Amino acid sequence: MKRTCFTLITTLTLYSMTQAQPIKPPKAAIKPKELITNGHKRIDNYYYLNERENPEVINYLNAENTYLDQVLAPVKELQEKLFDELKGRIKQQDESVPYKEGTYYYYTRFVTGGEYPIYCRKKGSLQGAEEVMFDGNAMAKGHNYYQIGGYEVSDNDELAIFAEDTVSRRLYTLRVKNLKTGKLYAEAIPNTEGGSFAWATDNKTLFYVRKDPQTLLGYRVYRHTLGTNTKADVLVYEEKDNQFYMGLGRSKSKKYITIGSDHNGVATEYYLLEASKPTGEFKTFLPREKGHEYDIVHYKDKFYVRTNWKAENFRLMEVPEGKTADRTAWKEVIPHRPDVYLANMDVFANHLVLGERKAGLTNIRVINQKTQADEYLNFGEPAYVAGIGYNPDFNTNVLRFGYASLTTPSSTFDYNMDTKAKTLMKEQEVLGGFDKNNYVSERVYATSRDGVQIPVSIVYRKGTKKDGSAPLLQYSYGSYGYSTDPGFSSARLSLLDRGFIYAIAHIRGGQEMGRRWYEDGKMLKKKNTFNDFVDVSEYLIKNKYTNTDKLFAMGGSAGGLLMGAVINQAPQLYRGVVAAVPFVDVVTTMLDESIPLTTGEFEEWGNPKNKEYYDYMLSYSPYDNVEKKAYPNLLVTTGLHDSQVQYWEPAKWVAKLRTMKTDNNQLLLHTNMEAGHGGASGRFQALKEIALEYAFMLNLVGERQ
């Protein structure tokens, strides 16, 4: 690897290479707004930035984008090189491993230069004629953003429901296509939940979830008969509690249409309707009860139930059809284990498959339904992720599962559950001379300030010195019980090959170490998440993986909140921080129930209308705790149409930091004016955002090659 050293220019009065005048950052106008909650007064100078249609706001966001381009002009070529590099590792003409459902084999493929997948199928065998169901590239024409939010094929294989989003607000329009003729039906139902729809067995009745366009919460389920006026659709269920999220689908057995309402960490409730009786009434599987969460899978004449009833880490039970609401009829299949978290399950005619977590790693357990003999699949790496794949065929003895590690590209396996034969169906092809043997992964544990052992997954290129001289990027999320597993990234190679070490901190708030790991990182224990991240940083420095002049941190969404809290707590540890779509204005957002996601997340963060939670949230909210002190170099990204974290949170945060921080480090805001929470929709366009983040960090350690 060739290195080029240069003098870093990090002051905000940067001089470009082509002009003598200093580059001045934009300043948002100060317009104080008084906010009073629980008798406490706050002054928000930038509250008005939430006016999405206000030309002044749009001009400010555009000015920030221009400023970022000016500041990073010296590494524009590097950014372009990185983009080409990232793109160059991707096999442009590619195809997924087909799966069999009914009489068809389904798969997606990409064509050279294509941004979007093409959804295809073949009847009878893989030697059959290809049928193109949806050509994402053709459908995306004329749109700056495009996403197909799932599809569902009817029982007679002739029709398909699909959903499309052309704005990136996750408000999908539901359409129906005749796969035999290619005809699109007249139905175009707006404001629906992508992926939450189901066919009845009559091939003409479908069910879908309607979303509230303001809160973006799915709250109503409708029945529609193909070819009729959508205004006549029948409301079959309405969720009255706006703290619940709702989904809809068809059971693997195809017998039931299922509505699921879930309040994360609080309660679950399912409603069932036999798919052969579409005009019937949905019946409750088991009424919701605070503190009880459960999942169900239908199997022959019974249901398997994954439940936390008297089992913090969940256990598996079974119950006959018709007796589901009677918990005395529930029979235990797999007991609760304090050291194993039961994460998910799948069922086959002769086998039961469980996804479990132990010691922070994922495991797949296969149980023979007849003999009850079981086994765990062996993966043989110190840090990896394995998961049950999509297995729609109930009558097969072959399990499809996925595997990856920090050094092994994403792989698809078929496992014969009778013969124990494991077949690699496909390993993600990484172009550009990639050799997994050139990289090393480690699993270490950092001790937190309260004595808890925090797992850390690490990867670097062989030959990288662990003497404190290497730059290191530390990543984490740490919320909602979402586990950040040590998977593979071809993009990450651009950092590793330039001497970076990459570390994932498996901090509390995730669920890597079981349900307690999550419970100890939410609500009034949320600060454990931030403390764990900082303590891992100090461990990495102490053990000479890096030093404070070369340590970088990155997180997005709730992980962006983590970034904001961390640099308020320990800014001196980091050279630079990337906060992607960061949730940083915690108190104000959680007080506004009209904002998407707010009401459903009171059990994650707390309800600030309650003074105890208000005071606690206020004590760590990044926006409210900006101080007059030095901060690290900071790159903040957002999307104008973000439905999860509204763009004004990062915009306000950056505006406030500009007036408060005492350093001369870079403070950059990039707003994608055409996208939302997930960034650009195309497979290559998204790489431009990664290239921007990498160029920002590489620039700060003197790397322009």
User: How high is the mean pLDDT in each 10-residue block of the chain (705 residues)?
Assistant: 30 36 90 97 97 95 97 95 95 93 95 93 95 95 90 97 89 95 94 94 97 86 96 95 90 96 88 98 96 95 97 97 96 96 96 95 95 92 93 95 97 96 96 96 97 98 97 97 95 98 98 95 98 98 98 97 98 98 95 81 93 98 98 96 86 98 97 71 82 97 86
Contact 133, 122 (CB under 8 A): no
Q: What is the 3-state secondary structure (H, E, C) of 183-242?
A: CECCCCEEEEEEEEEEECCCCCEEEEEEECCCCCCEEEEEEEECCCCHHHCEEEEECCCC
- DSSP helix/strand/coil, 705: coil
Work out how many domains the chain is built from and give that number. 2
Residues 671 and 597 in one domain: yes
Closest CA to 139 of 106, 109, 171, 165: 165
> What's 439's domain CATH number?
3.40.50.1820
3-class DSSP assignment, residue 273: strand
Residue 308 lies in a domain: no
Predicted local confidence at residue 2, as pLDDT: 30
Residue 627: inside a domain, yes or no? yes
In a domain, 189, yes or no: no
Question: Is the residue at 173 inside a domain?
Answer: no
Residue 494 sits in the same domain as residue 398: no
Tally of CA atoms within 13 A in the half-sphere of 374 that contains its CB: 13
Residue 101, classed as helix, strand or coil, is: strand
Taking the CA atoms of residue 393, residue 397, residue 400 and residue 406 in that order, the dihedral angle to the nearest 10 degrees is 160
Q: Residue type for 560, please?
A: G
Of 408, 429, 450, the domain-final residue: 429
- Does residue 513 belong to any structural domain of this protein? yes
Q: Does residue 592 have an active-site annotation?
A: no
Instruction: Tell me how many degrees the CA angle 674-676-680 measures, rounded to the nearest 5.
Output: 60
Can you tell me the distance from the alpha carbon of 700 to that of 7, in angstroms, rounded to the nearest whole number? 10
Residue 472 belongs to domain spanning: 14-88+433-700
Are 487 and 520 found together in one domain?
yes
Q: What is the pLDDT of residue 17?
A: 35
**Final residue before a domain boundary, out of 429, 455, 489:** 429
Task: Name the percent of the chain in helix, strand, coil, to the closest 5.
Answer: 20, 35, 45
Does residue 262 carry a catalytic annotation?
no
- H or E stretch at 568: helix 558-569
CA distance 492 to 133: 33
Same domain membership, residue 448 and residue 417: no
480 with 387, same domain: the answer is no
- For 539, the token pair is 């461990």
Q: Are residues 419 and 456 in the same domain?
A: no
Kindly name the residue from 642, 643, 670, 681 that is annotated as catalytic: 642
| Distance, C-alpha 23 to centroid of its chain | 36
In this structure, the answer to whether residues 583 and 692 fall within a common structural domain is yes
Any domain includes 191: no
Selected catalytic residue, list 448, 557, 621, 681: 557
**What single letter denotes the amino acid at residue 460?**
Y
Q: Are residues 421 and 439 in the same domain?
A: no
Residues 481 and 562 in one domain: yes
Q: Does residue 640 share a domain with residue 500?
A: yes
Whether 354 and 456 share a structural domain? no
529 within domain boundaries: yes
DSSP character at residue 344 = E
Tell me: do 685 and 573 sit in the same domain: yes
Give the C-alpha separation, 573 to 596, whole Å: 34
Which domain-ending residue is among 373, 402, 429?
429
- Residue of 298, 641, 670, 677 marked catalytic: 677
- CA angle in degrees (0–180, nearest 5) for 88-93-96: 110
* Whole-angstrom distance, CA of residue 313 vs CA of residue 517: 10
- Alpha-carbon distance 649 to 459, whole Å? 33
Strand partners, 412: 402, 426
* 8 A C-beta contact, residue 454 and residue 536: yes
Active site residue 677: yes
Please report whether residue 483 resides in a domain. yes
